[in-house]
Amino acid sequence: MKIATYNINGIRAGLRKGLLDWLKATNLDFVCFQEVKANIDQVEISLFEDLGYQVFWHSAEKKGYSGTVILAKGDILNVEYGIGIEKYDCEGRLLRVDTERFSLICTYMPSGTRMERLQYKFDWMDDFYDYVVELKKTHPKLIISGDYNICHREIDIHNPKRNQKNSGFLPEERAWMTKLLEAGFIDSFRFFNKEPHHYTWWRTYPKDIRSRNLGWRIDYHFVTQELESEIKNCLILPQAKHSDHCPVVLELV
């Protein structure tokens, strides 16, 4: 079982950059896309269906903005669009599918890079935490995959000292991520790999910043402790270049 999370930064642009060939080659069971920047009627869904996927799509009301998609193989028992709070759901920030084996959340958390959005991000963090903790009571085998827009630890960012006052590495954000993990989750990548210099997002300027690997690790698969015995591996795939992010693949036994 392989599950990918991938902030595609525009799914139509990703398709032009060979995303479909990558999907064919990787043969993933589930793909969680964030920041798709398109409505379902703007993309030829049959491209994914021809690969054996069911397609679930949660667009933002604002055109060309945000949005989440899950591609899924196998039986889906239930689909949930959003967390029931309009100011987040209108931006398409969360999509969930329930299977017999586990529940999978695809989420695109706010960035907070603009001051007027930072409070929105803090509000999201509080409400998302409450949502997940409550959901976990009825769905104990839960995977939260997506772009969290937060680096948890100093080894998750190439220049921690310079970024201490920047959204994405603020003390409040990092403490929130610790709190979420302590609520019964595992950072699946760090479960296997404790080394620095593993990143999932790079700025687009200057142009050589990705080749120099000056990045941030902000894309994660958090897995409940009830699934710990089923985690086989978690890999970051920086060679996939359809976006300013790269995919992260979780493997379950």
Distance, CA of 72 to CA of 225 (rounded, Å): 23
Q: Which residue among 147, 156, 187, 219 is the active-site one?
A: 147
Which is it for strands 142-147 and 219-224: parallel, antiparallel or unpaired? Answer: antiparallel
Per the annotation, the verdict on 98 as an active-site residue is no
Separation of first and last alpha carbons in the chain = 6
Q: What is the three-class DSSP state of 23? A: helix
The residues pairing with 7 across neighbouring beta strands, listed in sequence order, are: 34
Which is it for strands 248-252 and 185-187: parallel, antiparallel or unpaired? Answer: unpaired
Distance, CA of 110 to CA of 31 (rounded, Å): 20
Tokens standing for residue 123:
């509000």
Tell me which residues are annotated as active site. 147
